Structure 1
Amino acid sequence: MLSTLAPATAGGGHGGHHPGHSSGLQTVTALDGPRGVDALGDGRTLVAEGDGSFSLVVERRHKQALVIPLGSVAGGFPPAVAAGRHGTVYILTGAGGEPGGPPVPGAATLYKWRPGYAAPAFVADIAAYQAGDHDPYNQEGPAGESNPYGLAVLGNGAVLVADAAGNDVLKVSKNGRRITTVARLKPRTVPVPEGLPATDPEGQPTGFPPAGTPIPAEAVATSVAVGQDGSIYIGELRGFPATPGTSQIWRVRPGTTGAVCDPDAPYSGSCKRWADGQTSIVDLAVGKDDTVYALSLSKLSWFAFELGVPGAEVGALHALTRSWHGGVRAKELAPGMLITPGGVDVVDNTAYVTGPIFGPGSLSKLELGRKGHHHKGHHPR
């Protein structure tokens, strides 16, 4: 599922809006088609844009932020970006070209960059690994397809990759020579939502099942983040019909490989459901107190956005916390202010968000309360 989220949704045409200063949301700097974001602390943030470029944004008191270009990878859709140790920056490209077509050079690849590098260096070919690691629960498209989407770095230097087409999370060793499957996400049976159109823009019948019809929908693993204890959090987009409120967040024990995240048995094994009820998650961040920040591309679902449903360009950021009785409480931050957001990260009581992901956008920040503090010690030098 979702071999190319970007080309499928890029025609939505909702890219002209910028987050403003309302509800505490402040624009740090303008960017073009921004997605990848890693907040390093001390007013420094890594970002990646639609042309494949990645940069370091440096905030300055009473002055315009500096945007320092670091390098670029294959463009077409903004890559994910994450800081490792000793100034290393990891960059992850997604699927490129037409679905089912030949691989595009530079697509579905993990790179690394350090100060002094003339260009990003190859680390691992994610698509090549997935071609031999078929999704046993595949519902759509080739079982070995790949669209790497989410990125996180472990404390030991290994890198986690969430693959939106493979419906899994992989671990790439520090040197890139070994890739293992950490967890696979099984499909979930969901009801077809209300409001799907009977005809497409050309007037042809869409053939969508009637509202309420239960159908299996792929997980579509878009996001991965690491908690303070090394636990791995995984966020889902939810495949067609993208029913709102059916995106889950999973928690995988540190050191796990080969886990299965099963919505029919969500609390068994080494992958357990941490939260439910989200919609079209595209990124996650974890605060120091294990508050999880879940970013939704659209509150109405990515599919509603594709279909041009009015209001579907409005996304959401939720702070999710465990209550004393074990449930999860969700608080929406800056409601109504995020237009097709692409990425989120949290550091020093501040959430940084990129978007709109399609067209002109920005890096914005939102001051949080004391909860959510997460200071990272690594950043490019």
Structure 2
Amino acid sequence: MGARTRLAAVAALALTGSVLVAGQAEAGGSGTGLRPVITGLDSPRAISLHGGKIIYSVGDGSVYARSGSRTKLLGKVPGGFAQAIDTNKWGVTYALTGAGGEPGAPLTPGSATLFRLRPGKSPVAVADIGKYQATDPDPYNTNGPPDESNPFGVATLRDGTILVSDAAGNDLLRVWPNGKIKTVARLKPRTVKVPPGPAPGNPPAGTPISAEAVATSVTVGSDGYWYVGELRGFPATPKTSQIWRIKPGSVNAVCDPYRPNKGNCQRYADGYTSIVDLAGGPHGTIAVVELAKASWLRFEEGGGVPIVGSLFLQYPGKHHKAGFKKELAPGKLLLPGGAAISRSGTVYVSSPLFGPGAIYKVVKK
């Protein structure tokens, strides 16, 4: 199903309070734990690190930079849902707004837009992602309008351009500081089986169904390649979210689950569930954030119980494929939203995506 529809529904459900998200899940697992470094946040999401600063976004559209005990507002963009952010090598932070509003409704001013933040000044709109996507429909669309847009992930490049993953367009875009946009890669849908326990009215468990990729996340690996993570569209079957490795400079590449080792976009990893963020780290590591272990659909269906998500550190393997992965702070994160890795390998994560939350540092027990 179109990701603008699904992610908007997830946000709307959480904001009604129909799902318990406040606080942290009980500690579980061994080896790593969480230490809060910034607390008292409302719906924290994205994290970026630069020059000793922790830069982060919260639910009202504000983006802050914390250095030591001092916090500075970098800017505020249209809110309602915490924005994706990233900071380039020069210390310039970009914030990406999503579609917002009701599913199927026209985009509102300031939504689906990439902004450049200037402390003490109004954010500058760099590119209207929604307008571009209206001219660049998804040729592999299976649900909803093929020209819909819900940009969800952002990563800055060393040449000053910016990568944007669009969760409704199911693609990766490259944006220039002057507003020029090119389509880097398109993610094709994948046939999955409906998992057990679907909501009434949905196809029976085991029914094969074409599910859209839902490109929620993008990061740059230490190898210079561009990595994109999937949420997986309806029916949100667990363990069917992939991570794609894309050759830098690609234009109109195709990420095809049935030809995963061909072309400029190749499958790097498989077997994840409801990925909402990626963060590149040293020595080929990538932090992978899963919104909910049971999938975003189980979260959307509610039930009033804590929704435990996951944070993994994915290590590289051979032949440009993923190797082993390690879950960090297992069982301790509710609806994690974003992650970042420092140059020394320290991992940070935000949780929960909706409600009172914090930025945490992953520590050894």
The aligned residue for residue 37 of structure 1 is 47
CA distance in 1, matches of 2:71, 2:300: 31
Judged with a 3 Å threshold, the aligned counterparts in structure 2 of structure 1 residues 138 and 6 are, in CA distance, closer, same or farther, namely closer
Amino acid at match of 2:221: G
Corresponding position: 1:151 with 2:154: yes
Per the alignment, residue 282 of structure 1 pairs with 276
| TM-score, length-scaled by structure 1 | 0.88
Number of equivalent positions: 353
**Among candidates 13, 17, 40, match of residue 23 of structure 2:** 17
Distance between the aligned counterparts of 1:322 and 1:86, measured in 2? Answer: 28
Are 1:313 and 2:307 an aligned pair?
A: yes
Question: Contact 2:279/2:339 (CA < 8 Å) preserved in 1?
Answer: yes
The answer to whether the 8 A contact 1:19-1:364 is kept is: no
Q: Deviation digits for residues 187-217 of structure 1, max 9, x if unmatched?
A: 00001001223xxxxxxxx311111111000
Query: In the alignment, what sits opposite 2:77?
Result: 73
The corresponding residue for 2:169 is 166
Structure 2 residues without counterparts, runs of 5 or longer: none
The answer to whether the Cα contact below 8 Å between 1:167 and 1:185 also exists between their aligned partners in 2 is yes
Q: Is the contact made by 2:46 and 2:350 (CA closer than 8 Å) also made in structure 1?
A: yes
Equivalent residue number for residue 378 of structure 1: none
Percentage of matched positions with identical amino acids: 51
Point out 4+ residue stretches in structure 1 off by more than 3 angstroms: 4-7, 18-23, 309-312, 323-327
Which secondary structure state, in structure 1, belongs to the residue aligned with residue 131 of structure 2?
Answer: helix
1:76-225 matches, cutoff 5 A: 76-115=80-119, 117-176=120-179, 178-197=180-199, 206-225=200-219
Matched, 1:53 2:62: yes
2:340 matched to which residue of 1? Answer: 345
Secondary structure class of the residue paired with 1:320? strand
Given that 1:281 and 1:296 are in contact with CA atoms closer than 8 Å, whether structure 2 keeps it comes out as yes
CA separation in 2, counterparts of 1:327 and 1:69? 37
1:19 touches 1:362 (CA, 8 Å); kept in 2?
A: no
Q: Distance in 1 between matches of 2:315 and 2:181?
A: 32
Deviation by residue 1:146-176 (Cα, 9 ceiling, x = unmatched):
0000000011010000000000010001222
**Residues 335 and 207 (structure 1 numbering): CA distance in 2 closer, same or farther, change over 3 Å?**
same
Question: What is the aligned counterpart of 2:232 among 219, 238, 246?
Answer: 238
Shift of 1:226: 0.5
Q: Deviation of residue 7 (structure 1)?
A: 3.6
User: What amino acid is aligned across from residue 228 of structure 1 in structure 2?
Assistant: S
Displacement of 1:2 = 1.5
Q: Is the 8 A contact 1:39 1:352 kept in 2?
A: no
Structure 2 CA distance, aligned partners of 1:55 and 1:286? 21
| Structure 2 residue 7 is matched with structure 1 residue 3 | no
What is the CA deviation profile of residues 1-27 of structure 1, one whole-angstrom value per residue up to 9, with x for unaligned ones?
A: 111555411324333114799842111
